[in-house]
């Protein structure tokens, strides 16, 4: 008999599978104080929460029986995933259950924005009759730019087509073939700025998308554009949006999410051309039932069949496999992150080759880690070790993993190559006894460098004085060099230089480097400090 604790207000009909199952007892105690939750958590095998319960490391110290934490929703910001992983607790969520709810809210916001429905309601409800004050626009034959063509973005595009709208879709993984199948036009972000009458946001919040809609981007948009964001706060620079609204560049905005929540930005919240709602994307009866049903069914699957579909951390692996792969886990994710930064675009093909001792092992975990590193650049925390393969396939990316008994000069050696339209990026790495992880090849040039948080990749001609000029330029910006490696094809030919730095090299630094005679290209590469959590 398994005991399940539900500590937030969650749909009883969604929990029916657990209520009806003879192997489970469910205690529903919404609103538990943290102290009481910590006191009783040791009695339970699984915990189900929404966003109210904060599952902290302190609470998990007492969770000696707990095997599963289920978030009835998407985000897991209220769960200390790292602490759960250390305790051997699987954390799951329900990533697809709110798709229709979020889609329909987006359409409602778009229609409200086009016709100023909230403003007209507010006026009429106090006895006014201002027909001439609320002249809207039709959506028919207007152009909608969809930024992010995942599940929700795709559903929005399909519904908008039924309104007679022309759809421009942007997504790093959107191909021409898929766009044709959907009946939309593949576009760049600049295309959307130039052509769209409405822009709707459906991307995850990651480093590359934070502040994506900023002063520079809004300056490129059509005058009178209308913007909808039901995805994540922080993608739109709120101060920039207010400036564009005040200038009339943006005719209106409809926002369900904000940079900080609850939002206190009254300049934005009270703007007459802005429609706001308090993060209602998943707030429908059906969505709440779906998320509860989804996590209930998965809890049963985990306990009854050990099948896991939506874990956001690592499932248990054998101690022997863990020990052999552990030195490569962090390195694998870093390889993926380096390769995708070098390619600059989403790949259409991924090749992974294992050599030497690694080729004898079950490397699925390591492959997932590499793929996670690749996809996280564009998909953020929506990708994890469980869904990595599925998401790669879902994005239309082909992949091939090969194993070779030859050692390539190292006991174990991994090589990753990404392709996009004939262009490729390439990273090879190993782990050296006593020295740790090393990048030993980059874009087919031999090097030997430790993966560190800040790297500078330079392509140049092999001419005297190049190293000195690069060092001097970095010194002008008060940037200290940790290590430097040079790889070259032949004396006097093409060469690369890879440096570890003590801090970020911004666009001004890159510009200063690119004016050096004989230096063709410079790119700053960034890696995370931490690794991938692995359950022991």
Catalytic residue IDs:
232, 261, 279
- Residue 337: exposure state from Cβ atoms within 10 A (0-12, 13-18, ≥19): buried
Q: How far apart are CA 152 and CA 394, in angstroms?
A: 14
Interatomic CA distance for residues 262 and 464, integer angstroms? 58
Beta strands in 394-480 (DSSP E): 398-404, 412-420, 423-432, 436-442, 445-449, 454-461
d(CA 220, CA 499): 36
| Alpha-carbon gap, residue 213 to 106, rounded angstroms | 18
In degrees, rounded to 5, the angle at the alpha carbon of residue 83 between the alpha carbons of residues 82 and 87 is: 115
What are the tokens at 366? 């390591």
**Strand stretches in 357-510, DSSP E:** 398-404, 412-420, 423-432, 436-442, 445-449, 454-461, 481-488, 494-501
Cα end-to-end distance, the chain, whole Å: 25
What is residue 55's DSSP assignment? B
Give the dihedral sign, CA 446/448/452/457.
negative
**Selection from 483, 477, 481 nearest residue 513 by Cα:** 477
Chain position carrying tokens 């032949």: 490
Instruction: Find the angle CA(79)-CA(173)-CA(280) to the nearest 5 degrees.
Output: 40
Asked whether the beta carbons of 488 and 495 are under 8 A apart, the reply is yes
Collapsed DSSP state (helix, strand, coil) of residue 423: strand
∠ CA(49), CA(260), CA(344), 5° rounding?
Answer: 95
Neighbours of 517 (CB within 10 A): 10
Residues constituting the chain: 536
Between CA 392 and CA 413 the distance in angstroms is 23
Strand partners, 486: 497
Parallel, antiparallel, or unpaired: how do β-strands 143-147 and 494-501 relate? unpaired
CA distance 232 to 260: 10
In whole angstroms, give the CA distance from residue 187 to residue 176. 10
- Rounded Cα distance between 355 and 263, Å, is 52
- List b or e across 267-284, with b for residues whose CB sees 16 or more CB atoms inside 10 angstroms: ebeebebbbbbebbbbeb
d(CA 239, CA 20): 51
């Amino acid at each position: 008999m398994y005991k399940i604790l539900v500590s937030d207000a969650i749909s009883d009909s969604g929990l029916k599978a657990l209520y009806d199952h003879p192997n489970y007892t469910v205690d529903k105690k919404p609103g538990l104080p943290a102290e009481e939750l910590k006191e009783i958590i040791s009695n339970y095998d699984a915990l189900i929460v929404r966003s109210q319960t904060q599952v902290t490391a302190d609470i998990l110290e007492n969770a000696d029986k707990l095997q599963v934490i289920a978030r009835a929703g998407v985000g897991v910001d209220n769960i200390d995933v790292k602490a759960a992983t250390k305790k051997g607790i699987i954390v799951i969520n329900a990533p697809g259950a709110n798709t229709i709810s979020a889609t329909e809210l987006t359409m409602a916001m778009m229609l409200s924005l086009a016709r100023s429905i909230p403003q007209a309601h507010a006026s009429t409800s106090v006895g006014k009759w201002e027909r001439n004050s609320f002249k809207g626009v039709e959506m028919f034959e207007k152009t909608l730019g969809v930024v992010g063509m995942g599940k929700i973005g795709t559903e929005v595009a399909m519904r908008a087509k039924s309104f007679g709208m022309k759809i421009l879709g942007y997504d790093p993984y959107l191909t021409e073939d898929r766009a044709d199948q959907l009946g939309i036009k593949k576009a760049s972000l600049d295309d959307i700025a130039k052509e769209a009458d409405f822009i709707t946001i459906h991307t995850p919040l990651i480093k590359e998308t934070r502040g994506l809609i900023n002063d520079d981007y809004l300056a490129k948009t059509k005058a009178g554009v209308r913007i909808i964001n039901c995805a994540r706060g922080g993608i739109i620079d709120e101060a920039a949006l207010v400036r564009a609204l005040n200038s009339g560049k943006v005719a209106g905005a409809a926002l369900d999410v904000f940079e900080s929540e609850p939002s206190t930005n009254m300049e934005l919240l009270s703007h007459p051309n802005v429609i706001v709602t308090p993060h209602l994307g998943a707030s429908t009866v059906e969505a709440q039932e779906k998320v509860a049903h989804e996590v209930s069914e998965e809890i049963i699957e985990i306990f009854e069949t050990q099948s896991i579909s939506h874990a956001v951390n690592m499932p248990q692996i054998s101690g022997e496999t863990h020990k052999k792969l552990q030195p490569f886990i962090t390195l694998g994710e870093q390889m993926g992150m380096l390769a995708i930064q070098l390619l600059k675009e989403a790949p259409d093909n991924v090749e992974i080759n294992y050599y030497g001792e690694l080729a004898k092992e079950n490397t699925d975990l390591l492959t997932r880690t590499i793929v996670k590193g690749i996809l996280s650049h564009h998909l953020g925390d929506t990708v994890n070790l469980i869904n990595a393969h599925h998401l790669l396939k879902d994005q239309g990316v082909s992949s091939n993993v090969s194993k070779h008994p030859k050692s390539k000069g190292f006991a174990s050696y991994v090589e990753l190559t990404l392709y996009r339209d004939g262009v490729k990026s390439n990273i090879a790495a190993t782990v050296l006894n006593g020295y740790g992880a090393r990048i030993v090849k980059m874009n087919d040039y031999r090097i030997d460098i430790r993966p560190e948080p800040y790297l500078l990749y330079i392509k140049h001609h092999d001419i005297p004085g190049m190293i000195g000029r690069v060092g001097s330029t970095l010194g002008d910006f008060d940037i200290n060099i940790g290590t430097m490696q040079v790889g070259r094809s032949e004396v006097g030919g093409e060469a690369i230089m890879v440096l570890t730095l003590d801090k970020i090299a911004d666009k001004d630094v890159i510009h200063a480097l690119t004016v050096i005679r004989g230096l063709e290209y410079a790119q700053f590469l960034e890696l995370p400090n931490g690794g991938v959590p692995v359950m022991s």
